[in-house]
Each structure stands twice: as C-alpha cells, then as structure tokens.
Amino acid sequence: MEEEFERYFVDIHSAEGHVKLIARLARDGIATFDRVPTARQLLSLARSIGDILPHRDSDAVGVTTLAGTESTASARPGYLGLTSRELFPHTDGTGVVHPPTLVMLVCEQPAPRGGATTVVDARALYAWLSVHAPAVLHELRQPGSARFGGKPEYRGAVFEPVAEARRNEDARISIRFRWDELAAFTASTRAVMPVFLDLISRTGSQFTLRRGQGYIVQNGRWLHGRIEYAGDRKVHRILVRPRFHTPAHDVIRFGFAPPHGF
C-alpha cells in the first residue's frame, strides 16, 4: 500500500512543489502528499489551487469532517461517508449538473484498523470496456440511463461527453458514479452493472493514509472510496474548482481524453 501512495506522491513543500502538483493533476488527475496534519492547512492548500465549493455537510469555510458520526446500522441515504462503513468507489457531486473538479482529503487521525483509501482510474476502465466489453460501455454511455442524487437530482449517464469539450475537437469524457440508495439505472444498464462493478473492484489501487497524509483526485476521472474501519478516525474533505484565468484552471481540465483509438 505504501508503494501506491508513493506512486502518486508530490512533495508540495519543495521549492517547485506547487508547480509539480498542478502538473501532476493535469497529467494524471491524482496526487498524494504529506505534512498537512490539520484542516486549516488543507484549506490553505485548497485556496492555492482554486475556489472552495460548499457541501451539505461542510462547515462555514467548506471543510467536511468525516469521523464516523453517523450510525452504521441506520445511516440515512447519502450519509454513508459519515459512518465507518465501506464506501464503494464513487465520484462526488453526482446529483448536480457541474460536479466539483477536485476532491481533496487529508487524514488527521488514522483508524487503528481499516480505512484504507481506494482509487480507480476511469480512463483505464473506459479503455478496457472499449476493447473487451463494448456492449457494456454502450449502455453506460446512454443518455438518461442513470439517475443520481436526491435533491438535487441529475439524469444522465455513467460516462458522458464533457460539456465544454463538445465545442471543439478535443473531445473529453467524464465519469459520474455512485453505488448506493441515491443511484438508479434503467433495466438495460442495470443488467450490465455486474461487469462494471467487478471491473472497478479488480482495477482499484489502495493506500493507507497516516496522520498528515492526503490525496487529491480530479473528480471527472477518478473514483475514490475506502474500506470499512473500526475505532476513531478523522478525515477532512474539501471540494475545489480551479479559478478562471489561473495556471491551475488552464491545465486541470475536468474528465479525460479517451485513450488513443477509442
């Protein structure tokens, strides 16, 4: 698991740390980092990249603390992240038209048991399905085949063209996905879902966050989740959209370019 954390690692405290972070997010859509032990420090990092977006569960400045405060036995729909239960890999903001571009998390207190992070590259999922299961990919791209969220609610597809990319030749695809009570699919799409769920489970990477370690994922490309944990655990999350007219906005684009030839 440490190898996976190192695979995406950027030393954000180095002289060129911020530049390297933006470049990694632009190229790979994911970065891990360390030595950010508090929500306040994560907030500073987030503000250096873009605008912080509010969330239903966030505080006044946009920080959501995930600390197992919701009952595991009777969690309300959409509140699973506030429990200690497993979170199947997903994207954030599935119920809104324009989801956040970046999801940032940092660990203030790791769980004594469990809680490892899972990340899955949707570009790799898309490429595999294109070659090995094109009929499944066809269903996952059908407009109106998926419904996400409660209020607000979004009707679309798991894989969709990025709206801004439709106006030029640089077509991009984004993923929008969750697998809980706030997701519904047409009968034909639900029929292919076992193949998709198995693919997600087989291709994910895992790493365990220690105190002060965190990660950033580009929310139109990467699914993220966690395994079940026991004991006290505290993680802070911030949703970010890169500001217009900044280097981060120019290079960190939502979604992904389909692998060449697809």
Domain range summary for the chain, segments of one domain joined by +: 2-251
Dihedral of the CA atoms 198, 173, 96, 148 (nearest 10)? Answer: -30
Rounded average pLDDT over 185-213: 97
Residue 261 has pLDDT above 60, yes or no: no
User: What's the number of CA atoms in the CB half-sphere (13 Å) around residue 84?
Assistant: 16
Mean per-residue pLDDT over the chain, rounded: 93
pLDDT at res. 91: 98
pLDDT digits (tens, 9 = 90+) for 14-66: 999 999 999 999 999 999 999 999 999 999 999 999 999 999 888 999 999 99
Dist. CA 207–CA 29, nearest whole Å? 17
Q: How far apart are CA 3 and CA 207, in angstroms?
A: 8
DSSP string, 82-143: GSSS-EEEE-S-TTSSS--SEEEEEEEE--SEE--EEEEEHHHHHHHHHHH-HHHHHHHT-T
Would you state the structure tokens that stand for residue 80, as one six-digit string?
Answer: 């699973």
Q: Provide CB contacts within 8 A for 204, sequence distance 6+.
A: 89, 118, 119, 120, 223, 225
The 8-class DSSP code of residue 166 comes to G
pTM of the model: 0.94
H or E element that contains 173: strand 173-175
Which CATH number describes the domain made up of 2-251?
3.60.130.10
pLDDT at 227 over 90: yes
The first and second tokens of residue 178, run together, are 């969750």
Q: What is the pLDDT at residue 15?
A: 95
Which structure tokens are listed for 9? 């690692």
Question: b/e per residue, 84-119, with b = 16+ CB within 10 A?
Answer: bbebbbbbbbbbeeebbbbbbbbbbebbeebbbbbb
pLDDT at position 80 is 87
Q: 203, 35 in Cβ contact below 8 A?
A: no
